[in-house]
Structure 1
Amino acid sequence: MSRILIAVGLLIAAIGLLWPWLGKLGLGRLPGDILIERGHFTFYAPIGTGIVISLALSLILWLINR
């Protein structure tokens, strides 16, 4: 269990460090992402991006456990 938590932590740190370059791929601007801007209020719900990331991680983990 501790190895899994360490791996997840390292993965999150790597994504955080690579985020400026990952943003150029178009993640965060997919169809299904909700952006509402009203005056000084901004609401962003990355539903489409979350689904794509979830599918990619599910596929990767399925291939690893296979």
Structure 2
Amino acid sequence: MNDFARTLIFFGLILIGMGILAAFFSKIPMLGKLPGDIFIRRGSFTFYFPITTCVLLSLILTLVLTIFGKR
């Protein structure tokens, strides 16, 4: 199998994993509604940017990778 095919398979698996995580995280009630998340609704326009949620998930992922990444 060439490198391009392996890369496509790798990114496909990453997308599947992200889809599973997105389905799981939608069940957590506070995730996405933390103080600091930007939510603007004006008429038919809605803008949502979960900055606090992104920072929190980034910190958790950094800690997990730091702990389990050093083997």
Task: For 1:7-46, list aligned pairs within 5 A.
Answer: 10-25=13-28, 26-46=30-50
Structure 2's unaligned 5+ residue stretches are 1-5
TM-score, normalised to structure 2, is: 0.69
Q: Segments of 4+ in structure 1 off by > 3 A?
A: 8-12
> Higher helix share goes to which structure?
1
Q: Percent identity?
A: 44
Larger radius of gyration: 2
Structure 1's unaligned 5+ residue stretches are none
Q: Quote the RMSD (CA, aligned, Å).
A: 2.2
